[in-house]
Amino acid sequence: MAYFDAASATPLHPVARQALLASLDEGWADPARLYREGRRARMLLDAAREAATEAVGCRADEVVFTSSGTRAVHTGVAGALAGRRRVGRHLIVSAVEHSSVLHSAEVFEADGGTVTRVPVNRAGAVDPSGYADALREDTALAVLQSANHEVGTVQPVAAVAGVCRAAGVPLLVDAAQSLGWGPVEGDWSLLTASAHKWGGPSGVGLLAVRKGVRFAAQGPADERESGRAPGFENIPAIVAAVASLRAVRAEAAQEAVRLRELTERIRTRVPRLVPDVEVVGDAERRLPGIVTFSCLYVDGEALLHELDREGFSVSSGSSCTSSTLTPSHVLKAMGVLSEGNVRVSLPAGAAEEDVERFLEVLPGAVAGVREKLGAPAAPAAQEGPGEVLVDSLGKRCPIPVIELAKVFGRVPVGGTVRVLSDDEAARLDIPAWCEMRGQEYVGEEPADGGTAYLVRRVS
């Protein structure tokens, strides 16, 4: 089985396993106690904190360990907003942040705060000017990921940090996907990360808060971790997490070169092997191991099952894999094709032969799914009335686009197809189909039970 979902979780690094087993015997006691066992536990915790600060690039008294990366985000966002409440109640985030950030923003809004969501370009990157334009006198905090978890696009953190620093606004960086590859550049104020993204055990998060940042921990007071992460520290897991971080950092430069070559191989060859594919994310400024593409006329869930049967573990941002029929907020913000979406995220040590086998298997898997769904092999040649109505109400993706493609050849040049759909993914996938086919997307109109999407034939 080839595991290609490292962006979700990475297998436990051998160094982490060794450190975990070794520290189970020494790190079980309460590090706050003064007796021998407590002192041993405290030494392990302090050593782990010192090693973590070297990787992050901050002081030891600026780092605390939390129960997860999500908890680190929630704690960091809430604490920074509360600490700067007198400044104002305005938060800035990008439209493609991890759900933990967006959920924190929703809670803040529900409590009376205001949130500005900075848009991204088609590659998934923000423009630093978007943050500059969003800054206000009452802005308490800005948040930006170091790299996107779905498409791998690296964000201009240093530039955004400079903009925020000049305005006196702290920037929280979610570095979950990138910290294993190297430190985050720029003059950031807060940083969060998650150990299971770099080969550490799950259940360990990291929160760094620079000195000088106003921060007020929320919830009941606790003496643990500077009052910012309540509860007894899981010292063996923390030790293992930091040990694995140091290990992967030592291997990062060499492994990054190798994984970039493999992902570039996928980016280049998939569009040649599979027709009607859109590769998404920035082609240059991206993480080494992530490549994402979307396939027209494909049910994402069915494709993932086909690939799983062939021995490949991959993930998807397609709405076709969701019972809510809502496409990934990342793909939606980028305005790219969402149906048949596949994210390949290679772990360190991924074998070249597995990537080659994936490229051999993928065309047949996609063709099989398309055949089951009745996708058209080529546009129809006949011409008919000037407007054709396609009723796809109640049908999930990719059926609305498949039905559009089947009837498109019936209209003459200048004619239109009106597609009725109540699937949110159609708002992305129909314009994407037009762009891939060189046809004109006219727009959308309200319709009974859903939305009418208008497409004009121009060739």
Successive 10-residue mean pLDDT values, the chain, 459 residues: 95 96 92 92 96 94 96 97 97 97 97 98 97 98 97 98 98 98 96 97 97 92 80 94 97 96 97 95 96 94 95 82 71 93 96 97 96 76 70 91 91 93 92 93 92 94
Q: Which of 291, 427, 294 is nearest to 7 (CA)?
A: 291
**Token pair of 360, please?**
């051999």
Positive/negative CA dihedral, 57, 58, 61, 65:
negative
- Position of tokens 């008919």? 384
In 238-285, beta strands by DSSP E: 277-280
Catalytic residue among 58, 164, 295, 320: 320
The pLDDT assigned to 283 comes to 94
**Dihedrals φ, ψ of 421, to 5°?**
-150, 145
The length of the chain in residues reads: 459
Q: At what angle do helices 235-273 and 36-56 cross, to 10 degrees?
A: 30
* Annotated catalytic residue 164: no
In 205-266, beta strands by DSSP E: 205-209
The pLDDT assigned to 274 comes to 96
C-alpha to C-alpha distance for 359 and 168, rounded to whole angstroms: 49
Residues 6+ apart with CB under 8 A from 401: 296, 297, 339, 426, 429, 430, 433
The pLDDT assigned to 387 comes to 85
Positive/negative CA dihedral, 191, 197, 201, 203:
positive
First-last CA distance in the chain = 45
C-alpha to C-alpha distance for 170 and 214, rounded to whole angstroms: 9
Q: Is 231 helix (H, G, I), strand (E, B) or coil?
A: coil
Q: Is 88 helix (H, G, I), strand (E, B) or coil?
A: coil
Rg (CA), the chain: 24
Alpha-carbon distances, residue 338 vs 1, 250, 329, 334 (angstroms)? 26, 36, 10, 10
Reported pTM? 0.92
